[in-house]
Amino acid sequence: MPVPLHGANAILTGGSLGLGPRFARALAERGVNLVLAARSADKLQAVAGELAGLGVRVVPLAADLTREADRARLAAEAEAALGPIDLLINNAGVEINSRFARKTAAEIDQIITTNVIAPMQLTRLVLPGMLARRRGHIVNLASLAGKLGTPFGSVYGASKAAVLAWSWALRVELEGTGVSVSTLSPGFVTETGLFAYHRTAAHPLLGVSTPADVVRGLLRAVEQAPVEVVVAARPFWLFQALNVFSPGLVMWLNQLTGVRAFLQRIYDKEQP
């Protein structure tokens, strides 16, 4: 069931960049006390400073979530700073795209550890307190890449598919405990992420959403506690629906419509 937001205590990972600061502001404006976690102490301090005056406590905690000791410290210090944690938003993630044959072992480990292991392990640390209080909500940032694998993004897509499967199973497992799990699955987003990084527009058939769209999706996830909130433009919905019934057809359409070639131009810097 949803957790009332005003006065709730939350951990938000990935709070220093991308959608993180936008998520933080939206939550703070609704009365949520926040622990913001990311690796960069300076950037976290800047975000915390921007939220000053909103009438909530905002605590920046620098942590490398790929490290077990940092995850344990974050969970302990968050509760010491705010009190019992009502809301955990596993937003931190990394996207390193290229053709799979050129992926290094370190890159694969980084993607899987950041996107899958870290949120699982941080949830494992926070969950017992939620269960004891019979109150809590966990929101895991997934992606439509986890439902519709994009070429040259296979490892990232696999990591988000894992987040979706884990989140859905955990939600069923926790039924009746007072603790719930939601996933937030954006598609391609303007102003941040890969298109901002590469300074290019999305392919028309991929479609894009705005950061404001994703923030609204997050607020729906924390206020209503649905199983999943999908934030995507209409063209992507078509690809996703077709993929359920005929992945081979979607692969063919990727070729026919130029989506594969478009993604290759962005991701694959050493094209054959």
Q: Do the Cβ atoms of 96 and 110 come closer than 8 Å?
A: yes
Amino acid at 135: R
Distance CA 76, CA 91 (A): 19
- The answer to whether the beta carbons of residues 34 and 222 sit under 8 Å apart is no
Q: For the packed helices 247-257 and 259-267, what is the interaxial angle rounded to 10 degrees?
A: 70
Residue 97 CA, distance from chain mean position: 17
User: Cα 163 from chain centroid?
Assistant: 9
End-to-end, the C-alpha distance of the chain in Å comes to 52
How many whole angstroms separate alpha carbon 120 and alpha carbon 172?
16
| Catalytic residue list | 156
The DSSP result for 154-188, as a single string, is: HHHHHHHHHHHHHHHHHHHHTTTTTEEEEEEEE--
Which tokens go with 75?
A: 């969970």
User: With contact defined as beta carbons under 8 Å apart, do 173 and 39 qualify?
Assistant: no
253 to 54, 155, 206, 208, 260: CA distances (angstroms)? 48, 21, 12, 18, 9
